[in-house]
Amino acid sequence: MGMTIGEKIIARAAKVPEVKAGEIHTVELDRLMSNDGTTHLTIDMYHNDLKHPKIADKDKLVFIIDHNIPAENPKTAEAHRKMRNFAREHDIAFYEGKGVCHQIMVEDYVCPGELIMGADSHTCTYGALGAFGTGIGCTDFLYGMVTGTSWVMVPETIRFELTGKLREGVYARDLILSIIGMVGANGCNYKIMEFAGEGAHNLSINERLVLCNLAVEAGAKTGIVEPDEKVVEYVESRGRKAENLFVSDEDARFEKVYHINLDEIEPVVARPHLIDDVVPVEEAGDVKIDEAFLGSCNNGRIDELRLAAEILKGKKVHEDVRFLIAPASNEVYMQALDEGLIDIFMEAGAMVMNSNCSVCWGSCQGVIGEGEVLISTGTRNFKGRAGHPDSYVYLGSAATVTASAIAGKIVKR
């Protein structure tokens, strides 16, 4: 019996010839990432709960402050200070104010075939480059940090065979929300979502990042797009080697196979308070909005910023709407500056934030109040995600968010 992409990555990390779904293996980790959400807790456990604390390989660790940056209160400031000091003491790669953790990892670290664990649920983003990225808690991160290993129960794989191309005005964001709407928020619990076929290869690296990033919102352990020459080109352009481009064997076993024609995907939104309550934009109803957000690890890259600028140019944000834009990294921000996109945003009345998790995190920027409505390119829309528990979050593409910011209500481009 052959193996799937995910199974091959686990087998490589476990140093065994093959693995099967349901087996439990000890794996050597290629890299570990942690952000300011929980790193301070890991550090506390390292100092207080270990008899002989040590770090297995500091070169495999990356610490990133991105969730609450700059610090909004003394408690956060102390957590940040703890991260800085620990990273400095142990010579750990450290990023502060440079962008969202997953964007930085993709820009600077991720390679095909790697097994990477991150203390953030959207670590599954790395599957866009043919890697196995998965989220863990701070206790598991501590174990990985001091041993260089972890354990994995090999997940079943669900294959999404994609054909065709997305039509004009339809985006990868619409595709993944449509898939989640189809399978449900629990439809891929502890599964690998494997995206393959002609349609997958038609997607750009940015579109693949969008796809894999939200795999966890269907309950998946990770999402992986079958790697190809686009992955090789991207990784090598960043000064890294593109090795271990695994593809599933012809006789690999899949728990289920979905066939999706990209030509049939249409602009959609996910309605409050469930990410799988997905409908065409026109069916959302006459929904007035108070705030719009463009950014996050899912949708804050240069492609989305260019699209937003194209829609906004020569127009104004609606007088009743706050439109916040947060580039996913400083590299993206600088590129947007060079291309004149920031000028367009400012002239239209949008607010451009520093590169961070921003409104998606619902903690330090653009928090919405009771009864307010937000349309967002963020990752989640559960009750209270972006502020008050009695507020409402709709999720849509960058095009839908920008068009809605201009119209003052939810509309498609």
Report whether the peptide linkage leading into residue 70 is cis, meaning its omega lies within 30 degrees of zero: yes
In the chain, how many H helices and how many E strands?
Answer: 14, 18
Q: CB-based contacts of 304: which residues, under 8 Å, 6+ apart? A: 294, 377, 398
Whether the Cβ atoms of residue 327 and residue 341 lie closer than 8 Å to each other: no
Residue the block writes with tokens 């940090």: 145
Beta-carbon contacts of residue 161 (< 8 Å; ≥ 6 apart): 196, 197, 199, 257, 258, 259, 260
List, in order, residues 6 or more apart from 284 with CB less than 8 Å away.
269, 271, 394, 410
Cα–Cα dist 138/184, whole Å = 28
E strand map for 255-409: 256-261, 268-270, 278-280, 291-294, 322-325, 351-352, 373-376, 392-395
Rounded CA gap, 104 and 231, in Å?
16
Distance of CA 250 to the CA centre of its chain: 29
Length of the chain equals 413
Q: How far apart are CA 68 and CA 387, in angstroms?
A: 14
Cα dihedral 313, 295, 287, 404 in deg (nearest 10): 10
Q: Is 297 annotated as a binding residue?
A: yes
Q: Does 111 carry a binding-site annotation?
A: no
Helices 39-48 and 74-90, axial angle in degrees (round to 10): 60
360 annotated among ligand-binding-site residues: yes
Binding-site sequence positions for [4Fe-4S] cluster: 297, 357, 360
